[in-house]
Structure 1
Amino acid sequence: MLTTNYIPGVPNWLDLGSPDTKASEAFYTGLFGWSFASAGPNAGGYGFFRQGEQTVAALGPLTEEGAHPAWTVYFHTEDADQTSKLVQQAGGAVRFGPFDVFTNGRMAGYTDPTGAQFAVWQPGETSGLDDVTSVGTLCWTELHTSDPAAAKQFYAGLFNWQTQDVPFGDFTYTVVTPTDGGTDASQGGIVGLLPEDKSAGGSYWLPYFEVEDPDAVITRAQELGGAVRAPAVDAPGVGRLAQLADPHGAVFSIIKSVPDEA
């Protein structure tokens, strides 16, 4: 389960790169009931999605040449410069950074050896998102990859993740846990790409948002111009989930999780 007790290797930030930030703001505030606040005149159009007073995600314009609309998952690091060296040594690529974001922290962006893009956040004054796991917030991260074995080796070397392979229907799902997080601190998963994903752009990180009523959220997403990539299904012991795309094609999932046993 994700928490705001950010330790090395856990997701601690999430942002959306959009070709039309005003349109994306309208879609997500309409979908999840979030508000949006600009980070200021010197932030290049970047700003924060908020639920009440809590920052739960962020939004900014596409800045990299050839970039496509997508959510980017950031993982906590204590040293973005050292992480960048490790990425390159392990066969990944540094797309940008490391660089300081005012006094908030230090960040860098990468592509893993299987083609999935991700980033790291080294906290300064901002440790990470203010809220996770509750309704309307990030609750899970999932890597869809063309080579699960290579991905597990890469991220285990980078973040010292622990992994556990779990049979799930007709495929294997790998559950990811930070080394110092304990057995109940699972933060995400690794799964092989579906054939349609291989032809549509390859490996990617997928954020999940907790919702109260997945079917109602799906209907609302379609009304707002989004699309259903995978219809709602009930996963025993997990919850009811679906995969959606916003009007620009950025992919995300929603889930109503099965309550944890007391």
Structure 2
Amino acid sequence: MPTVTEFPPGTPVWADLQTSDRAAASSFYRSLFGWHVPEADPAHGGYAVAELSGTPVTAIGPFPPGMERPVWTVYFAVADIDASAAAATETGGAVLLPPGELMPGVRLAIVADPAGAVLGLWQRDHDAPWLRDEPGAVDWLELAAPDYEGTFPFYEAVLGVAVSEMRVNDEPYGLFDVGPANVAGATTAAPGVQAHWLVYFGVADLDAAVLRLTELGGSILEAPVAAEGVGRWAIVADAQGAGFGLLEPEAR
């Protein structure tokens, strides 16, 4: 399994869910993806760390103060979280949660880019394993914003990433790059949709996954589509309303 153990600055390092009903959410994702979800751990801020085959995949936790709806949050590794938080405000963003110690050896901040998309900054002394690019694990991360190119200076300054572009179904698609690796994408948000980061989970069979999701009380936000060189995907929501993507990658 592709277990990632090194996270250069600018790369995604984690994704987790904040929800109003942790028990119901745990049951939903356990049934959908086969995660092992233990009881919430007070030492981890009330989050339960979900695993597949013994490797961490994500975590499910409670609403922080002021949150109104369930949401998935994406975190990126940074070398100096104080400098990155300062760069966020200098480039038109905002610091929603100032840098602080989440647990020994781990510092965390929550920021918003100039379009309003929320993300986390993560600095830690020692990297921990994260399962990626397997069915049931995070496969891709994507910024959706009305003018995603307008956010590029923010991400270049805050995360230290480079930016590039490709075509998906003849439409421009932005890429965030760390060295030779494309670590996340960027696309134009649908009219009326607020800027946000979207987490895609890999599935072996998209149609079966969508069917199972609806059986569990989830909903389809955007019907399945396909693109050559990418695969098939759908935008969905869990039973509490948190949006995410399901991606059946094209066979490599």
Q: TM-score range by the shorter chain?
A: over 0.9
Partner in structure 2 of residue 243 of structure 1: 235
1:77-156 maps to which residues of 2 (within 5 A)?
Answer: 77-125=78-126, 127-156=127-156
Residue equivalent to 2:182 = 186
Alpha-carbon distance in structure 2 between the residues aligned to 1:101 and 1:213: 36
Q: Aligned match of 1:255 in 243, 247, 251? A: 247
Compute the displacement of 1:89 (Å). 1.0
Distance 1:101 1:9, change over 3 A: same
- Helix, strand or coil: the match of 2:211? helix
Distance 1:193 1:2, change over 3 A: farther
Give secondary structure in 2 for the equivalent of 1:187.
strand
Of 199, 213, 216, the match for 1:207 = 199
- Mapped partners of 1:68, 1:224: distance in 2: 19
Q: Distance in 2 between matches of 1:244 and 1:72?
A: 16
Cα 1:170–1:64, aligned 2, differ >3 Å: closer, same or farther? farther
Q: How does 1:150-189 map to 2 (within 5 A)?
A: 150-169=150-169, 171-178=171-178, 181-182=179-180, 185-189=181-185
Structure 2: any 5+ residue segments left out of the alignment? none
Residue 117 of structure 1 contacts residue 204 of structure 1 at CA under 8 Å; is this kept in 2? Answer: yes
Other-structure match for 1:69: 70
| Separation in 1, partners of 2:67, 2:204 | 36
Q: State the Cα RMSD in Å.
A: 1.8
TM-score calculated relative to the size of structure 1: 0.90
Give the Cα–Cα distance (whole angstroms) in 2 for the partners of residues 154 and 167 of structure 1: 23
Letter in 1 for 2:236: L
Equivalent residues of 1:13, 1:128 under 8 A apart: no
> How many residues are paired up?
251
| C-alpha contact (below 8 Å) 1:93/1:110 kept by paired residues | yes
Matches of 1:129 and 1:231 in 2, distance apart? 33
Alpha-carbon contact 1:16-1:70 (below 8 Å) kept: yes
Q: Equivalent residue for 2:208? A: 216
Q: Which runs of 5+ in 1 are unaligned?
A: none
**Could you tell me which amino acid in structure 2 is paired with residue 224 of structure 1?**
L
SS at match of 1:186: strand
Please say which of residues 97-106 and 85-94 is displaced more in the overlay: 97-106
